[in-house]
Amino acid sequence: MQKVRSKVYNFILMLIMGVFIFSTVLAMPHTAQAATSSTTTKIIAQGTKYATELYVIKSGVPGPVVMIVGGIHGNETAGYKAADKVKDYSIEKGTLLVLPQANKRAVAAHTRSMGGADLNRDFPTSKSDKPDNTMSTAIFNVVKEYNVDWLMDMHEGANYEKIKSSSSVGQSLIYYPDTQTKTIATKIVKSLNVGIKTSYKDFTLLRYPVSGSLASASAKVLGVNSFIFETCSKDYLSTRISYQLKAANMLLNYLQMK
Ligand SMILES: [Zn+2]
């Protein structure tokens, strides 16, 4: 009788433990179902002197395709340095394409352009136009082939303020008009300016990226939500990189990718 009682007791104990373990497992985060971000490195303009790395970061979950570009102008350091950090991101949704050194030879030589007058004037200016050369063709093909939804192009300028007499746009976010683009562009500029104590250093919101630029062509020809982001090269490099990254992160957060 004693034995039977202890067997029943053990059985009940095991049952309680089983229920406890089972419910604990159920309550745990479903790690197996979470996004598994993976990065593939591709070479664009392969076999030419313009060959450069494109990082394709896939979340494994459907969502927007975002492209972040640095180094179109090789002497705009914060742009390609920030993009180089973004290439190591993992994401939770959609696809992130990062082209840290769009004009790799110009970055190596630390000059604005190399292999053309200005890469950011070589993209189509209308739907009937084509990119001007090997580099612009290779970059524009990425935007087309991956069906990019959002594009951020990282640049730098010589001044904090917009100077009317010159082409200087100052610290700014220059977007191609679209309601959604304007919404996030306004948020980014407002948020960055909160931390800036000297008003002439404030970021300004401008529109219409210059004709022939990657942002302009992507928006006008392919309907991509596009903007150029410009920091001022007079500031500390670490500050400029952090502005670039903050803008990129805000875009990715807005799209629930990060
Ligand atoms: Zn530039």
A 10 A CB-CB count for 179 gives: 7
Query: Which DSSP category does 60 fall into?
Result: S
Together in a domain, 41 and 77: yes
Residues 6 or more apart in contact with residue 239 via CB below 8 angstroms: none
Domain membership of residue 60 as a residue range: 35-254
Ligand 1 centroid, distance to 19 Cα (angstroms): 62
Distance 21 CA to ligand 1 centre (A): 58
Can you tell me the distance from the alpha carbon of 219 to that of 41, in angstroms, rounded to the nearest whole number?
A: 25
The CATH number of the domain holding residue 98 is 3.40.630.10
Rounded distance from Cα 70 to ligand 1 centre (Å)? 9
Clarify whether residues 200 and 103 are in a common domain.
yes
* Lowest-confidence pick of 74-78, 160-164, 171-175, 253-257: 160-164
> 120 and 205: one domain?
yes
User: Do 17 and 43 belong together in one domain?
Assistant: no
* Shared domain check, 10 and 50: no
Q: What is the pTM of this model?
A: 0.86
Shared-domain flag, residues 104 and 174? yes
Q: 8 alpha carbon to ligand 1 midpoint, in Å?
A: 78
**How many angstroms does the Cα of residue 62 sit away from the middle of ligand 1?**
32
**209 and 248 together in one domain:** yes
Structure confidence at residue 31 as a pLDDT band (50, 70, 90): very low
Instruction: Give the pLDDT of residue 167.
Output: 74
User: What would the pLDDT profile of 184-201 be if each residue is shown by its tens digit?
Assistant: 999 999 999 999 999 999
CA of 77 to the centre of ligand 1 (A): 10
Q: Are residues 204 and 167 in the same domain?
A: yes
CA distances from 86 to 83, 116, 221, 230 (A): 5, 27, 26, 17
| Distance from Cα 18 to the centre of ligand 1, integer Å | 63
How far apart are the CA of 66 and the centre of ligand 1, in A? 20
Give the Å distance between the CA of 205 and the centre of ligand 1.
16
Cα separation, 31 vs 63, whole angstroms = 19
Show Cβ contacts of residue 35 under 8 Å, excluding neighbours closer than 6 positions: 59, 60, 61, 91, 92, 93
pLDDT digits (tens, 9 = 90+) for 111-137: 999 977 899 999 999 999 999 999 999
CA 150 to chain centroid: 8
For residue range 1-25, list pLDDT tens digits in order.
Answer: 555 566 666 765 665 565 555 555 5
Examine the pLDDT at 166 and tell me if it is beyond 90.
Answer: no
Distance 254 CA to ligand 1 centre (A): 25
- What's the gap in Å between 120 CA and the centre of ligand 1? 7
Same domain (yes/no): 108, 15: no
Number of domains in the chain: 2
For residue 1, how far is its CA from the centre of ligand 1 (angstroms)? 88
Q: What is the residue-averaged pLDDT of the chain?
A: 91
Do 10 and 113 fall within a single domain?
A: no
83 and 96 inside one domain: yes
State the residue for tokens 């490099």: 237
Instruction: Say if residue 26's pLDDT is above 60.
Output: no
Residues 126 and 246 in one domain: yes
List the structure tokens of 80: 């390609």
- Give pLDDT, residue 1: 52
